């Protein structure tokens, strides 16, 4: 097949709405075309479209006009027989709302219609057959998520070849609202698992401003349940962020804890990754510095993993399960601070209670505030960052737990010398089963900075966090 006969993809005034030129091979018997060919079309610039249903519309008379309907799924439309004039209107919330694109189509063209763009067409020949592939199964309940706009709205100025006064149009289509009253189509939802954790609570705080976020607690999605992934409703979902984990690192070294850690952090994550892949949903897995042995600092995403404890081993297994599927992200972090129990909150409480703590001074890392972690993860999603691993932790100089504790005391107005240093070995003495902690928990952040994300200074965030704790205490 020559270069002139290759699939070509062209952009339109509506972002994401793409027109495809399809090679049509004709001879005395008729013609043949590859109406849908995933590999060639993705290579030409089409998104990796995964249809689940094929619908066909037969239209007996020229002038049959249908639309304009925006459905909550992606659509790939083509003409199998005849000719149409196609019209599309962007009904997605945002600056492009109301944008219009039109294309005259025969068998040699197809159009990829992204979710939330209203679709309409008018037949220009009798016995026209219009076909469309969609990415969600249709159901009566899905109608509640449709949006509509009137074919005749003068604000759209659609140049229908056959006057709508003479066209064949259903009564329902004639009664659709004009653009000024049309309901914008909401973006696909982002499900966050682990809603009761520090990171989950930070996402819940953002949900008021970001309507995509749907927060699920353990009561709604329990990773210790072997059937949780199969029961997870992913309809209308673009991403799942797995912020749930078994993080009791010392308990994980016990027989019962080992089983729980592997179920929640590895087995359940593998099933979740499979389920997301089946549904065409991207998965963001939140991971940990414990996948490393801590002998090196400033590790980048290419550094070999080498976990020394059960918790780190189970999280490393979860990472590999997620990375086995395309489109997924693994975001490693460390020393998370948010709403709930954490080191900073504990040090503040001890400072205010007059207790002088003993704190290890040979474990080095950086605090990561949950609010910054949510911001960074959503940045990766919204900018379409490439799949793979990203390191995301707080900005600033690396410090020991002892140094962090001293800073907390200082910012709370207490004498930092009240915080006593201790080696990890001395701190562990006589405390029974304890997991190994990484001596170094510092990441190289070059990759995520290259994606355009820069975190706020750690000390400013720490001051703000302590001020919030002071207000609510």
Report the catalytic residues. Answer: 69, 132
CA distance 348 to 368: 17
- Helix axes 343-353 and 458-472, enclosed angle (nearest 10): 60
- Cβ proximity of 299 and 443 under 8 Å: yes
What is the CA angle 283-285-287, rounded to 5?
170
Q: Cα separations (Å) of 89 from 12, 13, 312, 381, 382?
A: 11, 10, 49, 25, 23
**What tokens appear for 310 in the block?**
């059960």
CA distance 161 to 167: 10
**What tokens appear for 51 in the block?**
């249809």
Kindly tell me the number of DSSP H helices and DSSP E strands found in the chain. Answer: 13, 26
**What tokens appear for 209 in the block?**
């401003």
How many of the other CB atoms lie within 10 Å of CB of 322?
Answer: 24
What residue spans of 325-439 are helical by DSSP H? 343-353, 370-382, 401-411, 424-428
How far, rounded to the nearest angstrom, does the alpha carbon of residue 313 sit from its chain's CA centroid? 25
- Cβ proximity of 235 and 136 under 8 Å: yes
**What tokens appear for 125 in the block?**
């020949």
What residue spans of 119-222 are helical by DSSP H? 171-174, 198-206
For the chain, what is the largest distance between any 2 Cα atoms, rounded to a whole number of angstroms?
94
């Amino acid at each position: 097949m020559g270069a002139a006969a290759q699939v070509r993809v062209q952009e339109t005034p509506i972002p994401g709405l793409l027109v495809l030129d399809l090679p049509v091979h004709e001879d005395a018997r008729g013609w043949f075309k590859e109406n849908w060919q995933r590999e060639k079309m993705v290579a030409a610039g089409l998104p990796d479209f995964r249809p689940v249903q094929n619908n066909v519309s037969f239209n007996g008379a020229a002038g049959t006009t249908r639309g304009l309907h925006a459905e909550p799924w992606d659509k790939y439309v083509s003409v199998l027989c005849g000719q149409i004039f196609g019209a599309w209107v962007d009904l997605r919330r945002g600056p492009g709302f109301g944008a219009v694109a039109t294309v005259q189509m025969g068998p040699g063209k197809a159009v990829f219609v992204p979710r939330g763009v209203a679709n309409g067409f008018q037949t220009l020949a009798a016995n026209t057959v219009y076909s469309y592939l969609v990415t969600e199964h249709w159901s009566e309940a899905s109608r509640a998520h449709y949006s509509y706009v009137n074919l005749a709205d003068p604000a759209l100025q659609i140049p229908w070849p056959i006057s709508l006064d003479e066209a064949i149009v259903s009564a329902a289509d004639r009664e659709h609202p004009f653009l000024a009253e049309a309901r914008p189509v909401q973006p696909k939802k982002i499900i966050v698992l682990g809603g009761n954790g520090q990171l989950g609570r930070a996402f819940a705080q953002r949900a008021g401003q970001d309507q995509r976020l749907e927060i699920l607690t353990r009561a709604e999605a329990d990773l210790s349940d072997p059937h949780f992934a199969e029961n997870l409703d992913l309809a209308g979902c673009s991403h799942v962020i797995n912020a749930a984990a078994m993080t009791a690192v010392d308990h994980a070294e016990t027989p019962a804890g080992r089983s729980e850690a592997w179920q929640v952090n590895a087995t359940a994550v593998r099933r979740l990754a499979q389920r997301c892949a089946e549904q065409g949903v991207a998965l963001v897995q939140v991971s940990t510095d414990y996948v490393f042995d801590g002998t090196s600092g400033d590790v980048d995403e290419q550094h070999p993993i080498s976990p020394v404890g059960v918790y780190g081993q189970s999280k490393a297994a979860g990472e590999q399960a997620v990375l086995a599927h395309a489109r997924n992200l693994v975001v490693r972090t460390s020393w998370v601070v948010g709403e709930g129990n954490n080191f900073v909150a504990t040090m503040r409480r001890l400072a205010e209670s007059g207790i002088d703590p003993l704190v290890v001074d040979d474990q080095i890392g950086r605090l990561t505030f949950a609010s910054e972690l949510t911001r960074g993860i959503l940045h990766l999603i919204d900018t379409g960052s490439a799949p793979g691993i990203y390191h995301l932790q707080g900005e600033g100089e690396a410090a020991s737990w002892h140094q962090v504790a001293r800073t907390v005391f200082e910012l709370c107005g207490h004498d930092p010398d009240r915080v006593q240093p201790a080696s990890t070995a001395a701190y562990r003495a006589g405390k029974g089963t304890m997991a190994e902690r990484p001596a170094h928990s510092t990441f190289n952040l070059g990759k995520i900075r290259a994606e355009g994300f820069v975190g706020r200074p750690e000390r400013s965030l720490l001051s703000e966090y302590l001020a919030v704790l002071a207000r609510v205490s």
